[in-house]
Structure formats: structure tokens, C-alpha cells
Amino acid sequence: MKILQQNKIIKEIDDLTKSNMTTGIEQQYLLKAQLDLEDLDKFEKIIKDLNIKLLNIENNSEIKLSPEVKMLSDELLKLYGDPNLVFRGYGQVGTWGRRDDPRASDLTIWEQFKGWSGNFIFLILFILFLSFVVPWVKKSFGQSGVEIFMVVVGIIAIILLFFTGSLKQKK
């Protein structure tokens, strides 16, 4: 059954590379995957890499995936979905990558915040959260409680920035 499924995907990729309905960049990625798929031992890895590339085209560029390639990408995600696949960054400068891949986000924090305007609402919600929580903390624990609370919030923010790849330096 698995071989039939692999053959179906290989045929679909072959048909798409011959199609004139796909864009140049889609053709490039599909042709590379087609050449790599001659080694069926690495089938799943090649398919996962192809899908990451297609997801990055879809999210980061003005180019929209052609409907046929989008359907292939969705099908591959269902069949060979990667539980470690994450989106890192914000807006136009974010990338798809594996959680364990250090190259998934090589952008500095300033480059990632260029796309921050789309997530501006989260900043407002965070400020609202603090405006309601800080007075309660001050009333319950005093000024030292507020200072401890703010240190904890700062540490959590740094940890989140680290895990999203925002604090990684360019190599």
C-alpha cells in the first residue's frame, strides 16, 4: 500500500513538472524533488523538505501557489505531516521549519519585528493584561510583589523569544 501511495505521489509530481500551470519556482522545487526521489529510501525526508519549501513560498512571497501544487502540498501534509513543523517569526519575515533545525530562523529580532504590525493586537492585549494584573498583585503582595512579578514576566518573554528563534544571532 505504501509503495502505491509513493508511486501516486511521484506520478503527481512528475505531472506537475510537465504542467505549464505551475510557476518557475514551483517547477524548480518539484524538479529537484523529482530527481531526489530516485532514491526511495529517503522518500519521506525528501517529501517533508519539499513541503517546507512550498509552505515558505506560500507564506513569504507575493507568489501564490498554483491550485494543483496547493492540493499536492495539502495532501503531502496529511500523509507525511511533520509534528515538529513550526512557523517562526512574524508576518512576511517568518519561515516554516523543523523545531530541531537551528537554521529555521536565522533572522535577528529586528528583522522579525518588521512584520510586527500584523500582531499589534497581541501587544495591546498584553498591555491590557498587565493593567489589570499589576494592581491586583500590588494590592495582594505590595511593591516587592510587583517587582518580582515583572521579573518573572520578563524572563518568560525572553524564554518565548528564544524558543521562537527571535534571539538567535545571524551566522
59-115 pLDDT, tens per residue? Answer: 666 667 777 777 777 777 767 666 556 555 555 555 556 555 555 555 555 555 555
Is the distance from CB of 122 to CB of 115 less than 8 angstroms?
no
Name residue, grid cell 521562537: 164
Is the distance from CB of 88 to CB of 105 less than 8 angstroms?
yes
Tell whether 45 and 13 lie within a shared domain: yes
Tell whether 70 and 126 lie within a shared domain: no
pLDDT at residue 140 above 90? yes
What is the rounded distance in angstroms from the CA atom of residue 161 to the CA atom of residue 154?
11
pTM (predicted TM-score): 0.45
Tell whether 66 and 25 lie within a shared domain: yes
The 8-class DSSP code of residue 136 comes to H
The larger pLDDT score, comparing residue 32 to residue 169, is at: 32
The 8-class DSSP code of residue 116 comes to G
Tell whether 72 and 23 lie within a shared domain: yes
What is the rounded distance in angstroms from the CA atom of residue 44 to the CA atom of residue 141?
54
